[in-house]
Structure 1
Amino acid sequence: MPYINLDALDLKILAALQEDGRLTNNELADRVGLSPSPCLRRVRRLERDGFIRAYRAVLNRDSVGLGLTVFVEIKVEKHSRDNAKALQDALSSLPEVVACHMVSGTADFMVEIAVPNLKAYERLLTETLLTLPMIGDIRSNFVLTRVKSEAPLPLGHLKRGPRSGEVVPAADCD
Structure 2
Amino acid sequence: MPDVALDAIDRRILAEVQREGRISNQDLSERVGLSPSPCLRRLRLLEERGVISGYVALVDPERVGMAVTAFVRVRLDQQADRQLATFEAAVAGFPEVMECYIMTGDADYQLRVVVPSLSAFEDFLRGKLTRIEGVSQVTTSLALRPIVYKTALPVGMVSP
Same fold (TM over 0.5): yes
Q: Name the residue aligned to 1:172.
A: none
Which letter maps to 2:22?
Answer: R
Map 1:134-149 onto structure 2 (within 5 A). Answer: 134-149=134-149
The number of aligned residues is 160
Secondary structure of the corresponding residue to residue 152 of structure 2: coil
Equivalent in the alignment of 2:114: 114
- Inter-partner Cα distance in structure 1 for 2:81 and 2:100: 17
Structure with the larger helix share: 2
Cα offset for 1:152? 1.1
Q: 1:70 corresponds to which letter in structure 2?
A: A
Say which SS state the counterpart of residue 74 (structure 1) adopts: strand
Return closer, same or farther for 1:32/1:65 CA change in 2, 3 Å cut-off. Answer: same
Cα distance in 2 for residues equivalent to 1:69 and 1:2: 32
Which residue of structure 1 lines up, in the alignment, with residue 39 of structure 2? 39
Q: How many Å separate the matches in 1 of 2:19 and 2:107?
A: 33
Task: Indicate the residue corresponding to 1:55 in structure 2.
Answer: 55
Q: How far off is 1:29 after superposition?
A: 0.5
SS of residue in 2 equivalent to 1:141: strand
- Give the match for residue 129 of structure 1: 129
Distance 1:2 1:57 in 2: 26
The reply on whether 1:151 has 2:139 as its aligned counterpart is no
Cα deviation 1:27-60 (Å, max 9, x = unaligned): 1001101111110000000000011001000100
* Counterpart amino acid of residue 18 in structure 1: Q
Q: What secondary structure, in the 3-state scheme, does the structure 2 residue paired with 1:5 have? A: coil
**What letter is aligned with 2:70?**
V
State the TM-score, normalizing by the size of structure 2: 0.96
* 1:70–1:57 CA distance, 2 compared to 1 (3 A): same
Specify the SS of the correspondent of 1:138: strand
Runs of 4+ in 1 over 6 A off after TM superposition: none
Flag structure 1 segments of 5+ consecutive residues without an equivalent: 160-166, 168-174
Equivalent-residue separation in structure 2 for 1:74 and 1:131 (angstroms): 12
Deviation at 1:157, TM superposition (A): 3.5
Q: Which amino acid aligns with 1:10?
A: D
The CA RMSD measured in Å over matched residues stands at 1.2
2:21 is matched with which residue? 21
Shift of 1:128: 0.8
Between the aligned residues of both structures, percent identity stands at 36
User: Could you say which residue in structure 1 is the equivalent of 2:96?
Assistant: 96
Match runs of 1:67-82 below 5 Å = 67-82=67-82
